[in-house]
Structure formats: C-alpha cells, structure tokens
Chain A
Amino acid sequence: MANISCTGITKSYGAHPVIDGLDLTVADHEFVVFLGPSGCGKSTMLRMIAGLEEVTAGRITIGGTDVTDLHPGARGVAMVFQSYALYPHMTVADNITFGLRRLGVPKDEVARRLRDVAAMLGLDALLDRKPKNMSGGQQQRVAMARAMIKTPKVFLFDEPLSNLDAKLREKLRTEIRKMHNALKTTTIFVTHDQLEAMTIADRIVLMRAGAIEQQGTPDEIFDRPATRFVADFIGSPTMNFRMGIIRNGVAEAGSIRIPLPPGRFAVAEGQEVELGLRPARMGLVAGDAPGAIHGRVVLIENMGAEGQVIAEVNGAEMSFVTKEFRRLAPGDAVSFALSPDHLHIFDRASGRSLLNKDA
C-alpha cells in the first residue's frame, strides 16, 4: 500500500502535448477516479503511472520510491484493462496465478492464494475454463483476480466496466468498491461515466484536455463545481444554463428572478454572467412563491420514482426533476423554483464559478 505522487507530468506525441505539466497526489488507501470526456488524457495518465507509457517530463513516485524509470513489473502496481486482456491460451487458474508462478512462489502458497481470490470473486467453478468461453462479466472478474492475487501496492483500472451491460456494470461497480473497503489498496479508476465516478470515488479528479479541471469529493464536485465545464459534465439530467445579469442583488435571466444570498457570490452590480440551475435541485412551487420560474410543460420523462419535466421558459427549454410529475401533462402551465443556495453563477468569459470560497 502506498501513496502516489506525480509532479510536472508532461506527455507529448510528436510536438503536441497530450498532458501538460500535471501535478497530482493520491493518499495511501485512497480511491481516486479520473473522470473526463473521451480523449482528455485519462488513460495516458494512468498508463504512465503503470509504466506502459514513458513520461516526456516529470517524476512519478509510488510509496516514496521514484518509479519514473522503472519497468512496469517493478512498480508494485496491477492493472485491469477495459478489454480484460486475459491470456487466451491459458486456463482461468493459469491466468490468475501466472505472475506468482513466474516469481517462483511455492506451489501450496500459490494454491492457497488462488483459492482465496477465487472465493472472493466467485470464480471457483470457472478455474479450469478458457477465457474465450466466458461472459464479459466473468472475464473481468478473472482480470480482477489476476490483479488482486499479487497484493500490489496500487490498483489501476482503465474503464473496466465500459464493455459490460448496464446491470452488470452496477453490480461489479459495487463489488469493486466493497473490495476496496476490505483491502484498502490505493486505487486509481478511470471512467468517462460521471455516475460511475460519483458512486465509487473517494475523490474525483476531473480532467479536461490534459489538465485537471477540478478535484474533490463527489459532493464537492456536484455541489460546488469550479467551472461551467465541470457543472455541465457532472449530473444527470444536465444542468440548465441561462445567460443573465446581476441587478440589485438579484440574478435576472429573461423572466427568471433569483435573489442572491448576500456575500455568497463574488459578483458586481450589472455584471453579465451565466446562471446554472441543476434539475435535481429544483421542484414544483406555488405560482406566487419567491424566485418561482413560470413555464409551460413540453415533455415529461418518467424515470419511475421521479420524473424529468421539460418546460418552455422564455422560448427556451429548461428541465427539472420532481416526484410529483404525474400531476402534470404537456401543455400545462407550471411553476417551479430552485432550492435556496443551489444557484451557480459562472463568469461568461472564463467559465469560472463566481461562488465565494468560504460561502
């Protein structure tokens, strides 16, 4: 078990840097998720920590040892790939134990550890099978067992669930988190799925175009996005954005008027801003309630326990989520409002959040 520290990591393919001077530390026992849109450099970053890609500049240490120039096998890390990457010419048992056997670990020790991980991941019945005759979920379990059996200092996962169907994805996600709670091995997990990141992470590192856009706990990322990009990327349904202006301590956007708690935002009178309203932080209100937004229902999406209501407000669509969606029908007039303290305000030019740090 170990902490990880990356300083000034740069990676270029040719002249164009894919990662540019990235600094990151991961504490011992921490479960960190690299999140970001496809192509932002998550895999590249992970693969540099694994040793599968060379860094162009910068240092990586694991558990206090500088591993920047070490072979992947000498770093004490284990990796699980999106494509499972099982050895097709070996049985499941041989796949899992290859690394230990290669190191010359005694036979009975190998057998004991194989029994342990197989039991943990429910693979007992599959040990003599070849990978190609197994389902994706089973194959990924084997890959996880192969990573676990070596009791590495660090686990690296590169989109391990992306090839699985939704239900299995949820199940394995839970298992991975449970496994981490039991083993406490420092883990970096890469995904482009914000829900996966929110549910599994101790800390999310949200990346954009090779740089860290924001890092923090899932709650911080969700409720205090540092930029419009983060606010837009996190949360489903996605946040509503409206161009607005600050007048007399009220954020105005068309007919929308949202009073600002004093001191919460670093805004000036008359400043042109962009407002962010999270659908999940809104609800139905009486028509004369303060801060009420009035619109006309366009569409209702039933999600079971809740429904997403898409309403037309000032000629543009705005969505919110409510449990009472069954009372509404397309064409109805509707009034809804943001819960207090859940407004986001972004600078139009830089996209940075104007929320005060201590607010």
Chain B
Amino acid sequence: MVSLILRNLARVTLAFLVLIALTPILWTTLGAFKRLRDIVTPVPKLFFSPTLENFATILGSPTIRDGLVNSVIVVAVAVGLGAVLGIPAAHTLARHARRWGDDAQFFVLSLRFMPPVAIAIPFIVIYLDLGIYDSLGGLILVYLVTTISTVIWLAVPAFERVPREIEEAAAMEGCREAEVFWRFSLPIAAPSLFGALVFTFVLVWNELLLALTLAAQNATLPVVAASITSLGKEVPWGVINAATVVLVLPPLVFIGLLMGLINSMVRAGGPKKG
C-alpha cells in the first residue's frame, strides 16, 4: 500500500518536472503561431487565432533561409564525415589499441576543457591566411574536429560492450575484419552509437561561437537567430519564436530518422541474402 502511494507520488512528481521542462518549449511553439499583439498582452492568451505569418516571415527572409540551408549543409557533412571516419576508428581503438583508448578519450575530453574562444581566434588567423575564412568548407573543417573526436569518445565504449567472442565466432565462420565490423559489431553496437550521433549532432547544430567568428556572410542558423534577438526595442517575438521552432525541428527529425534506421537494422537480423 505504502509502496503504491510512493510510486504514484513519484509519477506525479515526474509529470510535474516534465511539465516544467516542457512549458517553455510549448509556450515558444504557441508563440510561433501568435500575432505580436497576442504575445505582448498583459494577460497571457491561451486561445487566439493562429497565424503562419511568423513562419512566412522566417522562411521568406533570405538571411534566415540561407542560415537554415547553411546549417543543414555544414552539420550534415560534419556529422556524416565524423561518423564515417570516427566509428571505424573507434572500433579499431576498442579492439586493437585498448591501451591508447583511454588516452584518446582523455584527449577528446580535454578539447572540451578549453574555452572555445581560445580555438576561435587562432583559427581566424589561420583561415584568413588559407583563404577559407567565411566559407562553409572552413566551418565544416573546424566542426569535424568536434564531431570525429566526440564520435570516437562515445563509440569506443559502445564497441567495448560488444562481446569479443561474438566477433571471434564470426571470424570462425570465415568473416574478415571488415565483414565482422559491418555484419556484427556495427549492428550490435548500433543502439549505443545512435546516442553518440544524436549528441554530436546537437553539439554542432547549437554551436554559436565558432560559427560567429569564422563566418560572416555564410552564417549558420544559431548566428542568424542570435542576430534577430539584438534588433533593439521592436522585438519581433513571434518571429523569434518561429525561428526557435525551426531551429529545434531538424534535430527532432534527424533523431526520428536515425531511430527508424536503427530499428530496421536490428530487426532485419543482419544479412538476408544467401
């Protein structure tokens, strides 16, 4: 009986916390569909006639549209390349160079200790010299450092959790290393790798400082969103809210897609061909 009460209490508390966490997001989403006068009323309005004006403004504005396109390109390439290079590297580290694994992991972690400005300023100089300042390629390059290292950092433990005997059993069936990796290690570690990719994605999708310092014309979405907020007194709240929604939506879509991919990978049970 007591345990039942406790359990319900825990549920209520949890629901309350989730509500608190989600309220700003919900409020922002609602705000994205409001006209400015519905937002700046002294009494908050729950019921209003929704409008798509804000989204129209956002997607109609070339700066924001370009920012969105730039963000998608930069982040997709950086995360994609990061995964393609980082995941096999992590597997190799986990299997063949365990003693370097810890060092590699600490190195990656130590990258996070440094204030980003400390990286940004030397990068400006180098990029100006190389002539890749304010280019998507340059941004991708600097993000690759983050994505590859983060993917490795999170994927090494994922591969370590794949029992070595399973890979050995596959080798006994004649599979070479690459085949063992594709047909066994990767699908078995996939659920953990998924988390690694999502984390990496979010990290670079939200990155502001490097994008702000290394690009001017080719700004990414966080830079554009930040510039809207500094428009002065006449703050277009509805537009900001809509921009936020646009900023948050791609990660959600990305997570959904990845989740589907992994589910199908796990369910298919590896090779179907003869």
A residues neighboring B (CB under 8 Å): 50-52, 71-74, 77-79, 81-83, 85-91, 94, 98-99, 101-107, 110, 146, 150
B188 & A103 in contact (Cβ 8 Å cutoff): no
**Distance A91 CA – B268 CA, assembled complex (angstroms):** 10
Contacts of A150 in B (CB 8 A): 173
Contacts of A85 in B (CB 8 A): 163, 165-166, 168-169
A73 & B175 in contact (Cβ 8 Å cutoff): yes
- Known: A89-B187, A94-B270. Is A102-B174 also a contact (CB below 8 A)? yes
Contacts of A103 in B (CB 8 A): 174
**Distance A94 CA – B271 CA, assembled complex (angstroms):** 9
A89 & B269 in contact (Cβ 8 Å cutoff): yes
What is the CB-to-nearest-CB distance from B97 to chain A, in angstroms, rounded to a whole number?
A: 16
**Distance A107 CA – B187 CA, assembled complex (angstroms):** 24
Which range contains the number of B residues in contact with the other chain?
20 to 34
B163 & A71 in contact (Cβ 8 Å cutoff): no
Contacts of A72 in B (CB 8 A): 168, 171-172, 174
Which residue of B165, B169, B273 has the most chain A CB atoms within 10 A of its CB atom? Answer: B169
Closest to B186 in A: A89
Contacts of A81 in B (CB 8 A): 165, 168-169
**Distance A79 CA – B174 CA, assembled complex (angstroms):** 12
B269 & A71 in contact (Cβ 8 Å cutoff): no
**Distance A228 CA – B171 CA, assembled complex (angstroms):** 40
Cβ contact of A71, chosen from B176, B266, B270, B274, cutoff 8 A: B176
**Distance A81 CA – B273 CA, assembled complex (angstroms):** 26
Contacts of B168 in A (CB 8 A): 52, 72, 79, 81, 85
Q: Which 9 pairs show the lowest CB-CB distances between chains A and B?
A: A73-B174, A85-B165, A99-B173, A85-B169, A90-B269, A81-B165, A72-B171, A89-B187, A85-B166
Closest to A77 in B: B172
What is the CB-to-nearest-CB distance from B183 to chain A, in angstroms, rounded to a whole number?
A: 9
A74 & B174 in contact (Cβ 8 Å cutoff): yes
Chain A facing B: main interface SS: loop
- Known: A73-B175, A78-B172, A103-B174. Is A83-B270 also a contact (CB below 8 A)? no
A73 & B187 in contact (Cβ 8 Å cutoff): no
Closest to A105 in B: B274
B residues neighboring A (CB under 8 Å): 163, 165-166, 168-176, 184, 187-188, 265-266, 269-271, 273-274
Closest to B268 in A: A89
**Distance A76 CA – B271 CA, assembled complex (angstroms):** 22
A-B contact pairs, 16 of them (CB 8 A): A50-B172, A51-B171, A52-B172, A71-B176, A72-B171, A72-B172, A73-B174, A79-B169, A81-B165, A85-B169, A87-B184, A89-B270, A98-B270, A102-B175, A103-B174, A106-B274
Closest to A97 in B: B274
**Distance A328 CA – B249 CA, assembled complex (angstroms):** 83
Contacts of A110 in B (CB 8 A): 274
B171 & A71 in contact (Cβ 8 Å cutoff): yes
Contacts of B265 in A (CB 8 A): 89
**Distance A51 CA – B188 CA, assembled complex (angstroms):** 24
**Distance A79 CA – B266 CA, assembled complex (angstroms):** 25
A87 & B271 in contact (Cβ 8 Å cutoff): no
Closest to B170 in A: A87
**Distance A146 CA – B169 CA, assembled complex (angstroms):** 10
Contacts of B173 in A (CB 8 A): 73, 98-99, 102, 150
What is the CB-to-nearest-CB distance from B158 to chain A, in angstroms, rounded to a whole number?
A: 14
Closest to A101 in B: B274
B270 & A99 in contact (Cβ 8 Å cutoff): no
What is the CB-to-nearest-CB distance from B116 to chain A, in angstroms, rounded to a whole number?
A: 39
A94 & B269 in contact (Cβ 8 Å cutoff): yes
Contacts of B165 in A (CB 8 A): 81-83, 85
What is the CB-to-nearest-CB distance from B222 to chain A, in angstroms, rounded to a whole number?
A: 37
Contacts of B169 in A (CB 8 A): 79, 81, 85-87, 146
Which residue of B163, B166, B173 has the most chain A CB atoms within 10 A of its CB atom? Answer: B173
Closest to A93 in B: B269
Contacts of A51 in B (CB 8 A): 171-172
Contacts of B175 in A (CB 8 A): 73, 102
What is the CB-to-nearest-CB distance from B166 to chain A, in angstroms, rounded to a whole number?
A: 5
